């Protein structure tokens, strides 16, 4: 039963519509919120059938406001909202009743120049690129069949569920390690660095997935933080990013070994699909069986040919033919040896005869003598000696000493 206090509270309570109407009236009646100029950086912009919706951010304290340019007002704009540009916005602050949040209805947009956030992003990107952190040469290939995968993401994010379902359906039995972290806010960069370091110290994973679901550009600022980029660059295992966003690649995407556009795509890239592997295995088995069957058929054909040859030539006849062939070779060898021996003997006889003809002793036997001087040299002319010298005559059987008494040239 309701008490009097509860009844009084119920009577004084506002409905959601009543509270929304009060807030809307308050905003509309405040002259400071009508025709107000706001300076900020466009962090995201999207065209819609009703107009242009974009987010205006303050780069100094990460605050932001949702802005809308209704379709009827687009033609009057001096400039269109451009991501990364700093712009001056004129509009009214109002309430979006359906979601209960305030927004800026834009009348006019004036460009101011490149936003501070975009400028800092470009400067950091150029500096890291000059260090070679984005070079293709330093990127590592992903392992073809990892058995342990580490995932760095928020455990409450839809990305974690998408990755789990994708890995379980593509590669059952895979070990998946979650290293939880914040993926949005001021503390997210430091948390991501600690989560990556936790995976490195654990040492079980062969590849790391850094993932986050989609979001506005300002929600993804953690993945452009220099600390996160360097943690990815120094990670000892390959890193694949799966950050769902529509803007240009983040710095984490550029330094990673592989970049996917969504967490699901990252999970699909990091492991092969088991069904595809089974199909490839069956195809290899089929081709191997076909090759083995072809080899067996060729071997059987060769054996059959040999059997046919054996059946045409009996073994005894073949042995007799081989014996006769060996006998012919033996006769030819003996004949060749005899011929070579006879030739050698004839040649020896010729050499012996030549030696006998050239033998000096044979010449002496015919009555000739060899005249030698006192020093043993052979004399061939009277001019080789003088009168009074003693010479030696070598005969067939001994020597004779003579003295020169006369020279007759």
What CATH number does the domain containing 84 carry?
A: 2.40.50.140
Element (H, E) at 197: helix 188-202
Last residue of a domain, one of 51, 85, 114: 114
| Residue 242 resides in a domain | yes
pLDDT in tens, the chain (409 residues): 667 776 666 777 778 888 888 888 888 878 778 888 888 888 888 888 889 999 998 877 778 899 999 999 998 888 889 887 888 899 989 888 888 888 999 999 888 765 666 777 888 889 999 999 999 999 999 998 899 999 999 999 889 999 999 998 888 888 999 999 999 888 999 999 999 999 999 999 999 999 998 766 667 888 989 999 999 999 999 999 998 765 557 899 999 999 998 899 999 999 887 777 777 778 888 888 888 888 988 988 898 888 877 776 666 777 788 889 999 999 999 999 999 999 989 988 888 888 877 777 777 777 778 888 878 788 778 877 888 788 787 777 888 888 878 888 7
| pLDDT for the residue numbered 392 | 84
Q: Is residue 170 part of a domain?
A: yes
The per-residue pLDDT for 216 is 67
Contact between 210 and 7 under an 8 Å Cβ cutoff? The reply is no
The enclosing H or E element of 200 equals helix 188-202
> Could you give phi then psi for residue 69, rounded to 5 degrees?
-110, 110
At 403 the pLDDT is: 81
Nearest to 84 by CA among 53, 111, 124: 111
Which two tokens mark 196? 């990556």
* Residues 249 and 147 placed together within one structural domain of the fold: yes
Q: Is residue 409 part of a domain?
A: no
Same domain for 82 and 132, yes or no, is no
Range of the domain at 286: 275-312
Task: Domain count for the chain, please give it.
Answer: 4
Whether residues 100 and 214 fall in one domain: no
Clarify whether residues 148 and 191 are in a common domain: yes
**How high is the pLDDT of residue 250?**
87
Which pLDDT value is given to residue 335?
92
Q: What is the pLDDT of residue 189?
A: 93
CA distances (Å), 330 to each of 317, 320, 335, 343, 371, in order?
20, 15, 9, 20, 60
Please name the residues in contact with 178: beta carbons below 8 A apart, sequence gap of 6 or more: 150, 151, 153, 155, 160
Are 259 and 171 members of one domain? yes
> pTM of the entire structure?
0.51
Choose among 199, 141, 193: nearest CA to 175: 199
- Whether 149 and 245 map to the same domain: the answer is yes
Q: Are residues 250 and 231 in the same domain?
A: yes
Q: Which residues pair with 103 in a beta bridge?
A: 94
Residue 341 lies in a domain: no
Q: Are residues 149 and 67 in the same domain?
A: no
One domain, residues 43 and 132: no
Residue 156 contacts residue 190 (beta carbons within 8 Å): no
Domain assignment of residue 250, yes or no: yes
Q: What is the CATH number of the domain that holds 240?
A: 3.40.50.2300
Task: Note whether residue 335 is domain-resident.
Answer: no
Say whether both 132 and 267 belong to one domain: yes
* Domain assignment of residue 345, yes or no: no
Residues 163, 89, single domain; the answer is: no
299 in a domain, yes or no?
yes
159 with 251, same domain? yes
Residues 6+ apart with CB under 8 A from 220: 184, 212, 243, 245, 247, 250
Residue 63 dihedral angles phi and psi, to the nearest 5°: -80, 155
Q: Whole-angstrom Cα distance, residue 68 to residue 256?
A: 35
Indicate the burial class of 324 (C-beta count within 10 angstroms; 0-12, 13-18, 19 or more).
Answer: exposed
């Amino acid at each position: 039963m309701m008490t009097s206090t509860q009844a009084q509270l119920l009577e004084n309570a506002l409905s959601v519509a009543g509270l929304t109407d009060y807030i809307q009236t308050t905003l509309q009646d405040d002259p400071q919120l009508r025709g107000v100029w706001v300076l900020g950086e466009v962090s995201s912009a999207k065209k819609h059938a009703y107009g242009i919706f974009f987010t205006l951010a303050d780069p100094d304290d990460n605050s932001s406001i949702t802005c809308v340019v209704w379709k009827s007002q687009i033609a009057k704009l001096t400039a269109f909202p451009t991501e990364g540009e700093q712009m001056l916005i004129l509009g009214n602050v109002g309430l979006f009743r359906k979601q209960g949040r305030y927004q800026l209805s834009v009348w006019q947009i004036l460009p101011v120049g490149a936003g501070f956030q975009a400028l800092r992003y470009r400067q950091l990107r150029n500096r890291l690129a000059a260090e070679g952190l984005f070079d293709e040469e330093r990127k590592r290939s992903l392992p073809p069949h990892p058995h342990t995968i580490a995932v760095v993401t928020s455990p409450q994010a839809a990305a974690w569920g998408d990755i789990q379902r994708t890995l379980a359906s593509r590669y059952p039995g895979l070990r998946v390690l979650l290293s939880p972290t914040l993926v949005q806010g001021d503390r997210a960069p430091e948390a991501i660095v600690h989560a990556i370091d936790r995976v490195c110290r654990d040492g079980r994973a062969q590849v790391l997935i850094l993932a986050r679901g989609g979001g506005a550009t300002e929600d993804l600022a953690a993945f452009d933080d220099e600390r996160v980029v360097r943690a990815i660059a120094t990670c000892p295992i390959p890193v694949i990013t799966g950050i769902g966003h529509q803007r240009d690649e983040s710095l984490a995407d550029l330094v990673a070994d592989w970049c996917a556009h969504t967490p699901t795509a990252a999970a699909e890239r990091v492991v092969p699909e088991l069904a595809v592997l089974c199909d490839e295995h069956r195809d290899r088995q089929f081709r191997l069986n076909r090759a083995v069957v072809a080899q067996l058929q060729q071997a059987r054909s060769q054996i059959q040919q040999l059997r046919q040859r054996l059946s045409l030539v009996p073994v005894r006849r073949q042995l007799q033919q081989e014996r006769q062939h060996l006998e012919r070779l033996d006769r030819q060898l003996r004949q060749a040896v005899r011929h070579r021996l006879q030739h050698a003997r004839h040649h020896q006889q010729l050499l012996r005869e030549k030696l006998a003809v050239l033998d000096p002793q044979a010449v002496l036997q015919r009555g000739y003598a060899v005249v030698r001087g006192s020093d043993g040299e052979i004399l061939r002319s009277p001019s080789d000696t003088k009168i009074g010298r003693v010479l030696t005559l070598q005969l067939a059987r001994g020597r004779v000493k003579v003295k020169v008494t006369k020279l007759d040239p």
